[in-house]
């Protein structure tokens, strides 16, 4: 596949005319998908797809086109020729783009992921066994993901990753279910069974009558999966250079008002250990790590090529939306088997739903608890909690009211499959928070 992409890149180079330049990106996957419902397989299949996007450049004008590849060299060359003709027809009618920036220094690279994945035919029986006599619904995706970059200057980059991602729920009744995830690069049956055992314990509690609490402030434990959604909200402008320069970042109080988070909070973009490629579509190489928040203080921003050109500073290979793709947060000192004891009396939040900003400039978020959220008394889970809405700022949640973080962290891979499997991921701890505000 890599050789095939490089052949196409060489062909495109040979087709350039006059002062034309190009950048092109390649994306592909070979994935198995298995959908389950009521503890049985409802749909199983494999997807093999490849696509190529070419950005044709003449001076300060550029236009992009994409094509799905067949794997037949002569057929794909013909489609590329057609796309280039159409791009050339558009070019004279396009305005100049003063903020277009692409790599001209050749920095080729190759990162081949190790394929340690088990066969889906071996994994799926273990999943179905875990769902025996349970109303289990879920999606298992596994396989290789491939990305490439090439340009007319001779730069060639390649990246591949092999991973699995299982997201499932044990349904109880009404709005009660236990949602779980298991992601990784190698199937570990013991680790999976540990997650299943914990899900089964929670499922048993869901049969108890629901507990209702009044709006107010409570001590809460936020699981890594719920925290991943909270941190995901920060991708909406919190760390991008452009949002900082235009004062639209939700972290404006940190940027200009001297606000800080708890000193235990350190967050960074970890491209080195993520599943996203270490280069982006303009050909710039991403550093292994970009520190975003260091011991509670705002550090660097993610700088896309466009922002770099606009504001005259170097890019660090961020994508156009300047959001983390492989976010990581350091853990703390709370051991997993001590979470309930440390929580004592309060609310155990497994998942959140409908998360959004209620006051963007104050980094205040609102959302709902969902699935298995529990009322805990004296370190013991007593009952499922009725659905509650919360409204809380990041500065209270991970700042003044943060009690501690778990030492153990979970690798979480985004399970969305729009166009192809997502390459976004996170590695996050759980968080113990005091005075967490529920509004209804």
Query: How large is the average pLDDT for residues 418-424?
Result: 94
CB 322 within 8 A of CB 239: yes
- Give the CA angle between residues 192, 185, 291 to the nearest 5°: 110
Per-residue pLDDT at 97: 97
Query: How large is the average pLDDT for residues 146-154?
Result: 98
Per-residue pLDDT at 370: 86
Sketch the domain layout of the chain as residue ranges.
2-205, 216-438
d(CA 251, CA 398) in angstroms, rounded, equals 13
Query: How large is the average pLDDT for residues 59-80?
Result: 96
Q: Which of 371, 398, 430, 397 is nearest to 217 (CA)?
A: 397
CA distances from 43 to 36, 37, 177 (A): 7, 9, 22
- List pLDDT tens digits, range 97-145: 999 999 999 999 999 999 999 999 999 999 999 999 999 999 999 999 9
Q: Which pLDDT band holds residue 63 (cuts at 50, 70, 90)?
A: very high
Phi, psi (deg, nearest 5) at residue 355 = -80, 135
Q: At which residue do the structure tokens 């409570």 appear?
A: 218
d(CA 275, CA 185) in angstroms, rounded, equals 10
Q: Please, where are the H alpha helices in 96-163?
A: 120-130
CATH superfamily membership of 2-205: PmbA/TldD superfamily (3.30.2290.10)
Q: At which residue do the structure tokens 């088990």 appear?
A: 118
Per-residue pLDDT at 236: 93
User: Tokens at residue 392, please?
Assistant: 């809380």
Residue 401: strand, helix, or coil: coil
CB 20 within 8 A of CB 58: yes
- List pLDDT tens digits, range 286-325: 999 999 999 999 999 999 999 999 999 999 999 999 999 9
d(CA 202, CA 153) in angstroms, rounded, equals 57
Distant-in-sequence, close-in-space partners of 411: CB < 8 Å, separation ≥ 6: 183, 184, 425, 426, 427
Distant-in-sequence, close-in-space partners of 31: CB < 8 Å, separation ≥ 6: 46, 47, 48, 141, 142, 143, 144, 145, 420, 421
Per-residue pLDDT at 175: 81
Bridge partners, 392 (sequence order)? 365
Q: Which of 126, 249, 252 is nearest to 189 (CA)?
A: 126
Distant-in-sequence, close-in-space partners of 118: CB < 8 Å, separation ≥ 6: 164, 186, 187
Per-residue pLDDT at 112: 96
d(CA 142, CA 165) in angstroms, rounded, equals 6
Query: How large is the average pLDDT for residues 333-351?
Result: 96
- List pLDDT tens digits, range 85-108: 999 999 999 999 999 999 999 999
- List pLDDT tens digits, range 170-210: 999 888 899 999 999 999 999 999 999 999 999 999 999 99
Q: If you ran DSSP here, which 8-state letter would residue 306 be given?
A: H
- List pLDDT tens digits, range 252-285: 999 999 999 999 999 999 999 999 999 999 999 9
Phi, psi (deg, nearest 5) at residue 217 = -110, 130
CB atoms within 10 A of CB 124: 19
Q: What percent of the chain has pLDDT over 90?
A: 97
Q: Which pLDDT band holds residue 371 (cuts at 50, 70, 90)?
A: confident
Per-residue pLDDT at 85: 97
Bridge partners, 176 (sequence order)? 173
Per-residue pLDDT at 323: 97
Mean pLDDT for all residues in the chain: 96
Q: How many residues does the chain have?
A: 440
- Give the CA angle between residues 307, 358, 244 to the nearest 5°: 20
Per-residue pLDDT at 40: 94
E strand residue ranges, 73-187 = 109-111, 135-151, 156-173, 176-184
Residue 77 has pLDDT above 90, yes or no: yes
CB 3 within 8 A of CB 10: no
């Amino acid at each position: 596949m890599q050789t095939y992409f490089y052949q196409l890149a060489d062909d495109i180079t040979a087709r350039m005319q006059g002062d034309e330049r190009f950048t092109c990106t390649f994306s592909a996957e070979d994935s198995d998908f298995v959908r389950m419902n009521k503890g049985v397989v409802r749909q199983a299949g494999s997807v093999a797809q490849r696509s190529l996007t070419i950005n044709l450049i003449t001076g300060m004008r550029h236009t992009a086109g994409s094509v799905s590849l067949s794997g037949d060299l002569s057929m794909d060359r013909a489609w590329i020729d057609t796309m280039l003709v159409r791009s050339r027809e558009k070019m004279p009618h396009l305005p100049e783009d003063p903020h277009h920036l692409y790599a001209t220094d050749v920095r080729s690279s190759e990162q081949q992921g190790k394929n340690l994945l088990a066969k889906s035919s071996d994994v799926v029986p273990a999943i179905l066994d875990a769902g025996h006599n349970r109303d289990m619904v879920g999606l298992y995706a596994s396989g290789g993901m491939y990305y490439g970059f090439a340009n007319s200057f001779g730069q060639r980059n390649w990246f591949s990753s092999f991973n699995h991602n299982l997201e499932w729920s044990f349904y109880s009744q009404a709005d009660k279910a236990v949602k779980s995830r298991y992601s990784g690069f190698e199937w570990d049956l013991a680790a999976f069974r540990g997650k299943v055992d914990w899900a089964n314990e929670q499922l048993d509690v869901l049969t108890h009558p629901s507990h209702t609490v009044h709006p107010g402030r409570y001590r809460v434990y936020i699981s890594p999966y719920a925290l991943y959604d909270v941190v995901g909200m920060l991708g909406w402008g919190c760390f991008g250079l452009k949002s900082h320069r235009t004062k639209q970042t939700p972290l404006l109080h940190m940027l200009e008002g001297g606000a800080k988070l708890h000193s235990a909070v350190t967050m960074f973009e970890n491209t080195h250990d993520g599943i996203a490629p270490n280069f982006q579509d303009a050909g710039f190489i991403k550093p292994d790590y970009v520190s975003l928040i260091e011991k509670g203080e705002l550090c660097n921003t993610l700088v896309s090529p466009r922002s770099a050109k606009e504001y005259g500073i170097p890019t660090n290979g961020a994508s156009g939306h300047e959001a983390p793709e492989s976010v990581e947060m350091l853990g703390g000192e709370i051991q997993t088997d001590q979470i309930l004891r440390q929580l004592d009396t309060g609310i155990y939040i497994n998942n959140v739903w409908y998360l959004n900003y209620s006051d963007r400039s104050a980094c205040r978020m609102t959302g709902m608890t969902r699935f298995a959220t529990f009322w805990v008394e004296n370190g013991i889970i007593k009952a499922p909690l009725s659905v509650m809405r919360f409204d809380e700022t990041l500065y209270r949640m991970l700042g003044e009211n943060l009690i501690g973080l778990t030492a153990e962290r979970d690798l979480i891979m985004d399970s969305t499959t729009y166009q192809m499997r997502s390459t976004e991921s996170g590695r996050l701890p759980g968080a113990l928070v005091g005075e967490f505000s529920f509004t209804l």
